[in-house]
Amino acid sequence: MSLNRTDLNAIADDYVLGLLGETEAELFEELLARDPALEARVAALRDGLLPLDLSAPKADLPDDFMERLRERIAAEPARDDATPRGVTITPVPPQADNLPQAPHTKRRWLIAAGIIGLAVGLGTGTLRPTPEPRVVAVLMNASGEPQAVIEDYGNRDAKIRFVADVTLPSDKTIQAWTLPSPETGPVSLGTLDRVAPAVLSGPDLPAPAPQQLYEITLEPAGGSPTGRPTGPILGKGFAHIQS
């Protein structure tokens, strides 16, 4: 079975929406860890859905939901023959002849093919597994709207992606910060001269901790003149450990 980027992108869409089965998801995650382009697509899809996820009100099931569900199931009459009279059942053709009607099987083949293809690349040294971030922080503005996502890898490097249209005047710089501890105070992770995904290379810091503060501020061109945040906060959030 041939593999192309369009197929993988479609599978990535299903993965983000939670439409893959357990086996498919496990296979896809193995592929995801080895394909930076695919990882970037999944991250972009998640970022696009993030405002919807955060704005959706929490909906709890009624207290008596399970009891009513059991009662309804128990009330259904048992049937010896689940086929309505007068209905002819056409036998399902063999699996090999039924692939167009078997999206789950097709997806598994595509994902497996992708893993094999990437494994060949890894063997020749052309690709390397993508490391996982230690923590992820969603940075919100004062209105509670997500503005950016920071992934901290705990090795002096962090990545930032913007999930909103942040305005950056030509004479200003966006600066990213973290607060390892109250004693240390805010530490700069780097500056950005445009609103775009970027890798931030900050100082050598202790491994990021749960609920560690991250924020981005608007500073003079070139960054804060004091080494501390001086401008308005564009977004801030707390770290969540990635298992």
| Mean pLDDT (whole number) for 125-148 | 77
Only one residue has tokens 């079975």, namely 1
The CATH number of domain 135-241, selected from 3.40.50, 3.40.1350, 1.10.3430, 2.60.40: 2.60.40
Q: Give CA angle at 235 (232, 241), nearest 5°.
A: 140
For 49, the token pair is 């859905």
Distance, CA of 212 to CA of 241 (rounded, Å): 10
Kindly tell me if the per-residue pLDDT of 135 is higher than 50: yes
More confident residue, 41 or 30: 41
CA distance 188 to 227: 7
Rounded CA-CA distance 71/201 in Å is 59
Please state the rounded mean pLDDT for residues 84-101: 43
Identify the band that residue 122 occupies on the pLDDT scale cut at 50, 70 and 90: very low
Both tokens of 72, joined, read 């309804």
Residue span(s) of the chain under CATH 2.60.40 come to: 135-241
Q: Strand pairing partners for 137?
A: 150
